[in-house]
Structure 1
Amino acid sequence: MCKEPPLTTPEKLAAWMVTAPQLLLMLDYDGTLVPIAPSPDLAWPNQELLAVLKKLTLSPDRAVAVISGRKLAELHKLLPLTGLHLVGSHGAEIQEAGGKTYRLFENRKLEEDILTLERIARECVAGSSGFLVENKGISLALHYRLAEPELARGVLGSFIERAAPIMGKDRLELLPGKKVLEIRPREVNKGKAVQYLCRKHAGALPVYIGDDRTDEDAFMALGEGCGILISSQPRPSAATARLPSPREVYQMLLLLAP
């Protein structure tokens, strides 16, 4: 059973991490590196964050990865830095620090199903304000951050009912997040991306930082590493420590940068 990870400080975490000869630092994007925005297209990193990430990638004893539900191409625009591992679509696609790109998961039939689910989602939100439907190729996100709560409940209920026959029993799963409902293949999760990077950087201390339900798979995949939950309020998690917000994440990164 998951417990509530204790609140800590950027100073304590950085002081512990710098003792590791090699560090593999893996971070979620939305809600971790940058605050949650009213819509995904507004969540851009500032120049200070880009600068500290760049410094970290230049250190020979640091490997830095950003692992997100966003598409890889979108991450590349948001974080135009060399030396970063970028992992998109919940771990389905990865661009290594050297620039090589791999698809860790590919299934044309499921991509067709996502297109069908996108059509259903758009029909469910038609004429309603505050919703955003985002097709990520092998996953789908239905954002409702700007929608009225009662309206959102009705739209989500209708979508879930209509989506169930297409999702099947074992192929696709629903993941509720922060004012977002996501559908993704069961075979795809951030934990598998963490395992891939840990194998690539064997011997490094693995640390994963994230804020949402999809980050729990990553926390559980760490083994001997450390998971850090970003949350203003305590809640059960597979993480081992908690920071209140992306502001503290930035402060920790500053302390780690050479």
Structure 2
Amino acid sequence: MEGKYMVKYLFKNLEYLETFKNDSSTAIVTDIDGTISEIAPTPDEAVVTDSMRKELVKLKEKFQLVAVISGRSVLNAKEMVGVEGLLYVGNHGLEFLKNNELHMLPEVAKYLPKIKKTCAQLECGDLSHLNGLIFEDKGICFSIHYRLSDNPKNVRNKILKTVQDDPQCRELKISEGRQLVELKPPISCDKGTILDNIIEQYNLEKIIYLGDDITDADAFNKLKELEKEGKIKGVSILVLSSEIPSYVKKDSSFLVDDVDEVLKFFQWLLN
């Protein structure tokens, strides 16, 4: 294990997190899919287990803040996690729940008709001939999942070429996640900017961020930037998978093998 991860494997370096563990002002911020929930063949099949949910409740009681930042819609994220009293942020920071009321960034609204129209055309036309695709309308963003396709690499390239060649798609933001291509409003917002906003709003000084995807690298880098400026103490934990590019691994502070080890880490924090 030591040779595989060198100094970055979390459970060989827990002493670095003692200061977070023993400080009630620490904040825990986590992604959902691939982090506190196993990746599933389809988004609807993914679940947060009762064991994970119980630990999240305990973390909420011990620490200043537990927040969930997901690429899912915020209402879907809350329904999936099912723990009251957490801060829920959805669609990569474009919407959030405050006092159980749904809020979105003001500049988002004007792009919603264009996203709906563009994605309907993709689903019914240009991409309809590709087998194994799942089209997910998340209200603000639209995801095209290709995990179930026979040749994911080839299908990914076809999806990207289609959306990059489409004039309407080029007016939106095209990004990627684990086995998916996503269309978003062309707004400067990502998991890094929303994490920065949360830190400022809640006056946080210690943050542990957990994620597993390309989009989480923005949060990893924001933590490093703020720590370098002396504004916070931050630790980023990447849940490993074969689908993650090497640069995301380099951006994280520590690595864990899987969702089971995230649960084990939460239990260590609470011990």
TM-score bin, normalised by smaller chain:
0.7 to 0.9
Counterpart of 1:226? 235
Counterpart of 2:159? 156
TM-score, normalised relative to structure 1? 0.86
Question: 2:263 aligned with 1:250, yes or no?
Answer: yes
Separation in structure 2 between the aligned mates of residue 229 and residue 130 of structure 1, nearest angstrom: 28
Counterpart of 1:240? 253
User: Partner letter of residue 207 of structure 2?
Assistant: P
Query: Shift in Å at residue 64 of structure 1?
Result: 0.4
Residue 11 to residue 167, structure 1, CA distance change in 2 (3 Å): same
Gaps of 5+ in 2: 1-5, 228-233
Q: How many residues align?
A: 250
Alignment of 1:99-114 (within 5 A): 99=100, 101-114=102-115
Separation in structure 2 between the aligned mates of residue 10 and residue 246 of structure 1, nearest angstrom: 17
Query: Shift in Å at residue 216 of structure 1?
Result: 1.2
Separation in structure 1 between the aligned mates of residue 44 and residue 86 of structure 2, nearest angstrom: 21
Query: Shift in Å at residue 128 of structure 1?
Result: 3.6
Query: Shift in Å at residue 106 of structure 1?
Result: 3.7
Gaps of 5+ in 1: none
Question: Is residue 93–residue 105 contact of structure 1 (8 Å, CA) maintained in 2?
Answer: no
Question: Is residue 94–residue 108 contact of structure 2 (8 Å, CA) maintained in 1?
Answer: no
Counterpart of 2:51? 48
TM-score, normalised relative to structure 2? 0.82
Residue 232 to residue 16, structure 1, CA distance change in 2 (3 Å): farther
- Aligned residue for 1:213, secondary structure, equals coil
Query: Which has more helix, going by share of residues?
Result: 2
Separation in structure 1 between the aligned mates of residue 89 and residue 55 of structure 2, nearest angstrom: 19
Deviation per CA, 1:165-219: give whole Å up to 9, x if none.
Answer: 1144xx6322222110112234221112101211122243012111111111111
Separation in structure 2 between the aligned mates of residue 51 and residue 34 of structure 1, nearest angstrom: 13
**Per chain length, whose mean CA-contact separation is higher, i.e. which structure has more relative contact order (CA < 8 Å, sep 6+)?**
1
Separation in structure 2 between the aligned mates of residue 86 and residue 177 of structure 1, nearest angstrom: 20
Match of 2:18 among 12, 15, 19: 15
Question: Is residue 95–residue 102 contact of structure 1 (8 Å, CA) maintained in 2?
Answer: yes
Runs of 4 or more, structure 1, over 6 Å off, are none
